[in-house]
């Protein structure tokens, strides 16, 4: 392991939208009107005034748009726009029109443009800079009964009550990090394959996308002697978010709504400002924006929530962005914060009628971290210390069947002989890969005390995961690991808290 929040498109991909039928939305709209100046002796008639296209919805202004799913399965349409509205247009005048089931309304401003002063970051001040956000972010909730939604002529994907196929990926950004002397070739799709992964995964026609964190990796400026990243944006502003996520992931953002999980690269001292502006499904809050370090103890934590997948399945989303590597004493404020979050997890997992509850957070808890030339490290000790205090060696509360993670840049599917939920790690979405785990694992290797591994399937190549719902009356999911080009690597069948894969040990791409 290294030390280390849909539809998107770039400007020019959306056609101008005519606003016939968009009236009645207040002062933001221009109403068409006409007058007849003719006289009884054959005077001329003034033609009707033609309503101009809505400038805020013009293709040149819409930088990205997508749909994500938040707490209580609320669908949220988001748009990033470079439009500058007239001074008298009102706060929401900068936002485009969202058409839902034929009715157009203007989206609401989430947060406007800003250049955030340089704050304390994970890098030295000389290797950091103020975060520039020369764009506005707009949003609108979409009713669960909606059957269509669009910005202009571009259709937005809406959630399905019973999604059949889910794409899962994590750790997708391109690493530019001085502290590690790590300079990934962001302009090389072989070295940084997110665009390939997104296009391939979109071809599977998912109903939902689950991203398990670390969207952003371009923290420091590319050195002049490193060819592969010349000209790349860096820092934590919009240009880097656009290059690291919204542009390369556009095909997948356009295909299905997203459920977004926060990673350690989105903690406040890193890309937390962009997370708060663009992806966090909760309302924008300046005290949680990560702009001011004095508020980091609030901005780095968030309550878990569940997203229903229908048919007795649900995903619990857990924010572990700030989790460190060391076990925590019970008096540590972080221990107390995570303890409260896991108590909420227990409540969510106890929901009646659930046959498959999938817990997802960024840091593997009962997974491994490969180390070159040494035995693999166990799962995250900070989270384990909190979980074991609540549930002894069970770690997870009753009701959790499968755990999904990123953070480690490989694929792992682990089934336990002990009574622990199956663990799947899929942190191989684009950032530099980790070394492969030893094969076989060294004797006695366990991700946490009290666990016993039955079997493990793993590989260290770029790719993604696909979850397919089992046909009724069966319950649960089939998990398939794919390489970046769509080659099937392994198939794992889930039953309760177990997964049985068709291959074991290391598998080559």
Domain boundary among 110, 130, 158: 158
CA nearest 164: which of 470, 507, 469? 469
241 and 355 share one domain: yes
For residue 41, being part of any structural domain is answered with no
CB distance 483 to 509 below 8 Å: yes
| CA-to-CA dists, residue 25 to 48, 92, 93, 240, 432, angstroms | 21, 11, 11, 34, 48
How many Cβ atoms are within 10 Å of 295's Cβ, its own excluded? 16
For residue 320, being part of any structural domain is answered with yes
How many Cβ atoms are within 10 Å of 2's Cβ, its own excluded? 15
For residue 67, being part of any structural domain is answered with yes
195 and 292 share one domain: yes
Q: What angle do CA 292, 297, 302 make, to 5 degrees?
A: 110
151 and 187 share one domain: no
For residue 97, being part of any structural domain is answered with yes
Residue 357 maps to which CATH number? Answer: 3.60.21.10
172 and 231 share one domain: yes
99 and 213 share one domain: no
pLDDT value at residue 152: 87
Tens-digit pLDDT profile for residues 427-478: 999 999 999 999 999 999 999 999 999 999 999 999 999 999 999 999 999 9
Give the pair of three-digit tokens for residue 509: 């791409």
CA nearest 281: which of 112, 72, 467, 131? 72
pLDDT value at residue 9: 34
169 and 56 share one domain: no
209 and 278 share one domain: yes
456 and 372 share one domain: yes
165 and 144 share one domain: no
pLDDT value at residue 4: 37
Tens-digit pLDDT profile for residues 380-389: 999 999 999 9
pLDDT value at residue 190: 98
14 and 56 share one domain: yes
Range of the domain at 124: 6-36+48-158
57 and 193 share one domain: no
Q: What is the pTM of this model?
A: 0.90
Question: What three-state secondary structure class fits 69?
Answer: strand
For residue 139, being part of any structural domain is answered with yes
Number of domains in the chain: 2
For residue 43, being part of any structural domain is answered with no
pLDDT value at residue 175: 98
Domain boundary among 158, 176, 197: 158
In the predicted model, residues of the chain with pLDDT beneath 70 are: 1-52
63 and 174 share one domain: no
Q: Which helix (H) or strand (E) holds 274?
A: helix 272-274
């Amino acid at each position: 392991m290294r030390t280390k929040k849909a539809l998107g498109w770039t400007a020019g991909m959306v056609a101008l939208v005519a606003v016939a039928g968009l009236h009645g939305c207040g002062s933001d709209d221009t109403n068409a009107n006409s007058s007849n100046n003719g006289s009884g002796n054959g005077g001329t008639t003034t033609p009707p005034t033609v309503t101009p296209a809505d400038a805020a919805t013009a293709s040149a202004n819409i930088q990205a748009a997508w749909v994500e799913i938040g707490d209580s399965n609320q669908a949220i349409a988001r748009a990033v726009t470079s439009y500058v509205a007239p001074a008298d247009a009102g706060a929401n005048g900068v936002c485009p029109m969202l058409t839902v089931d034929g009715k157009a309304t203007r989206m609401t401003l989430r947060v406007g443009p800003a250049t955030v002063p340089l704050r304390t970051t994970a890098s030295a001040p000389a290797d950091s800079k103020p975060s520039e956000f020369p764009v506005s972010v707009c949003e609108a909730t979409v009713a669960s009964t909606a059957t269509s939604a669009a910005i202009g002529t571009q259709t937005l994907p809406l959630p399905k009550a019973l999604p059949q196929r889910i794409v899962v990926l994590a750790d997708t950004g391109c690493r530019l990090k001085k502290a590690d002397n790590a300079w990934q070739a962001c302009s090389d799709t072989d070295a940084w394959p997110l665009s390939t992964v997104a296009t391939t995964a979109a071809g599977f026609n998912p109903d939902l996308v689950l991203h398990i964190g670390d969207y952003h990796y371009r923290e420091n400026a590319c050195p002049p002697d490193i060819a592969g990243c010349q000209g790349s944006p860096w820092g934590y502003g919009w240009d880097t978010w656009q290059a690291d996520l919204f542009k390369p992931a556009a095909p997948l953002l356009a295909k299905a709504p997203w459920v977004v999980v926060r990673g350690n690269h989105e903690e406040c001292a890193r890309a937390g400002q962009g997370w708060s502006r663009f992806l966090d499904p909760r309302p924008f809050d300046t005290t949680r924006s990560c702009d001011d370090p004095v508020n980091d103890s609030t901005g780095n934590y968030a309550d878990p929530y569940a997203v229903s997948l229908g048919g007795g399945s649900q995903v619990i989303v857990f924010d572990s962005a700030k989790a460190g590597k060391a076990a925590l004493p019970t008096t540590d404020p972080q221990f107390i914060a995570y303890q409260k979050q896991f108590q909420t997890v227990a409540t969510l997992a106890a929901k009646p009628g659930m046959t498959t509850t999938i817990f997802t957070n960024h840091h593997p808890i009962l997974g491994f971290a490969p180390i070159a030339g040494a035995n693999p490290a166990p799962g995250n000790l900070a989270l384990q210390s909190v979980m074991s205090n609540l549930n002894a060696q069970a770690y997870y509360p009753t009701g959790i069947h499968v755990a999904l993670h990123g953070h480690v840049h490989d694929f792992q599917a682990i089934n336990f002989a002990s009574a622990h939920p199956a663990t799947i790690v899929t942190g191989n979405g684009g950032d530099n890969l980790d070394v492969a785990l030893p094969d076989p694992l060294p004797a006695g290797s366990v991700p946490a005390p009290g666990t016993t591994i039955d079997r493990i399937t793993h590989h260290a190549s770029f790719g993604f995961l696909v979850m397919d719902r089992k046909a009724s009356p069966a319950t649960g999911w089939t998990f398939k690991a794919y390489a970046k080009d769509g080659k099937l690597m392994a198939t794992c069948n889930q039953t309760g808290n177990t997964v049985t894969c068709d291959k074991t040990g290391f598998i080559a791409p």
